[in-house]
């Protein structure tokens, strides 16, 4: 696994600036799950001047709604959710200090620009590999919005969680780079 960059959360701006689209990363530390319902509720609470339920500076948000844990496991299958559904919330989350996002699929031009301006990164996790990815999750606990079920915010402790940088802080997009590469063939 020598060609992977190893990162620990919380992520710093230096961590973000060290990454380029296409880099393979093994991420360790605490991350949070949140999907669209949790994002919406969190931002609505902030609009009411309420404290956020989790500390957001330097965190990585995993777009994931895991299945229930089997006996003896910390979590069930925990694969990535399609990221574009969170695009309306992402620039504001970056403004609040979030540094990274994990999902699958493309992001909007507005999100790519916000990642560049506010120094963030979008990672892809392998879709369809939720059972395998869950093996890298050592701890999981609901920390907010338990009533949302699988969409509740969970705090996860991950070890060597495998990711690929899709959108870096320089405006690069791995999906577009791949398309350009194959058009030349």
Positions annotated as catalytic residues are 39
Give the Cα separation of 71 and 87 in Å (integer): 35
Give the Cα separation of 2 and 155 in Å (integer): 28
Q: Which of 86, 69, 148, 82 is nearest to 120 (CA)?
A: 86
Q: Strands 100-103, 121-124: parallel, antiparallel or unpaired by DSSP? A: parallel
Q: What is the DSSP letter of 102?
A: E
Structure-block tokens of residue 98: 């979030």
Q: Which of 80, 75, 171, 169 is nearest to 124 (CA)?
A: 80
Half-sphere exposure at residue 155, Cβ-oriented, CA atoms within 13 angstroms: 12
Distance of CA 127 to the CA centre of its chain: 13
In the three-class reduction of DSSP (H, G, I as helix; E, B as strand; rest coil), residue 166 is classed as strand
């Amino acid at each position: 696994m020598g060609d992977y960059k190893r990162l620990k959360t919380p992520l710093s701006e230096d961590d973000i600036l060290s990454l380029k689209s296409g880099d393979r990363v093994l991420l360790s530390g605490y991350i949070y799950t949140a999907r669209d319902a949790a994002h919406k509720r969190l931002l609505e609470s902030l609009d009411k001047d309420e404290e956020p339920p989790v500390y957001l500076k330097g965190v990585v948000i995993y777009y994931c709604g895991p299945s229930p844990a089997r006996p003896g496991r910390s979590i069930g299958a925990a694969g990535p959710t399609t990221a574009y559904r969170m695009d309306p919330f992402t620039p504001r989350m970056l403004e609040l200090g979030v540094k990274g996002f994990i999902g699958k699929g493309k992001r909007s031009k507005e999100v790519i620009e916000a990642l560049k301006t506010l120094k963030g990164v979008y990672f892809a996790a392998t879709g369809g590999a939720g059972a395998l990815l869950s093996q890298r999750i050592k701890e999981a606990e609901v920390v907010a919005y338990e009533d949302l079920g699988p969409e509740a915010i969970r705090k996860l402790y991950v070890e060597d969680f495998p990711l690929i940088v899709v959108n870096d802080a320089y405006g690069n997009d791995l999906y577009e780079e791949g398309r350009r590469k194959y058009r030349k063939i």
